[in-house]
């Protein structure tokens, strides 16, 4: 009787271990990205600026998530901004230069685990900007959801 109980326990433990391994493999795909990675992207951004946002043209589309429970809200953003300050610029930007921004951001409703969405810029706000040049005068976020946030402090 003891052997059967031990065997059943071991089989149950193996099944539990298999489920734990599977969860560990799948969970990071849907988890928030660690702050150290956002900071790394900020540190590597070729353009580190402060910008004042001018015109913003968001175009919103919605689709059902493949699980059917959530709504995915995708916003294509085109914006114009003026460079206020320059910490570094691989493309030679200077304060007063006008730039265009283009990016797509996705969020879910209700919120789901995953990387933070890139915020939709608002006309008139002044924000830090971690960008990369796409073509002359056109830029895109370089630090994903932390592209328009202050430098992430890692303690």
Please tell me the predicted confidence (pLDDT) of residue 31. 59
CA-CA-CA-CA dihedral for 105, 110, 116, 122, to nearest 10: 50
Of 26, 128, 141, nearest to 85 (Cα)?
Answer: 128
Please tell me the predicted confidence (pLDDT) of residue 63. 87
The DSSP letter of residue 114 is: S
62-66 own/partner pairs: CB under 8 Å, 24+ apart: 65/108, 65/112
Name the residue ranges covered by the structural domains of the chain: 1-30, 35-146
Q: Which residues of the chain have pLDDT under 70?
A: 1-31
Give the β-pairing of 47-64 and 126-135. antiparallel
Determine the topology of domain 35-146 in CATH. OB fold (Dihydrolipoamide Acetyltransferase, E2P) (2.40.50)
Distance of alpha carbon 99 from alpha carbon 65, whole angstroms: 34
Please tell me the predicted confidence (pLDDT) of residue 66. 74
Please tell me the predicted confidence (pLDDT) of residue 95. 98
């Amino acid at each position: 009787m003891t052997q059967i109980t031990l065997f059943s326990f071991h089989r149950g433990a193996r099944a539990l271990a298999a489920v734990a391994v599977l969860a560990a493999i799948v969970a990071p795909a849907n988890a928030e990205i660690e702050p150290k990675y956002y900071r790394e992207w900020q540190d590597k951004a070729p353009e580190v600026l402060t910008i004042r946002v001018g015109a913003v043209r968001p175009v919103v589309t919605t689709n059902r998530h493949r699980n059917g429970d959530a709504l995915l809200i995708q916003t294509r953003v085109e914006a114009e901004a003026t460079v206020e300050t320059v910490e570094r610029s691989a493309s030679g930007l200077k304060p007063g230069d006008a730039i265009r921004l283009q990016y797509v951001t996705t969020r879910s409703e209700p919120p789901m685990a995953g990387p933070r969405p890139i915020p939709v810029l608002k006309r008139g706000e002044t924000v830090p900007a971690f960008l990369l040049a796409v073509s002359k005068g056109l830029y895109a976020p370089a630090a994903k959801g932390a592209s328009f946030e202050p430098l992430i402090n890692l303690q």
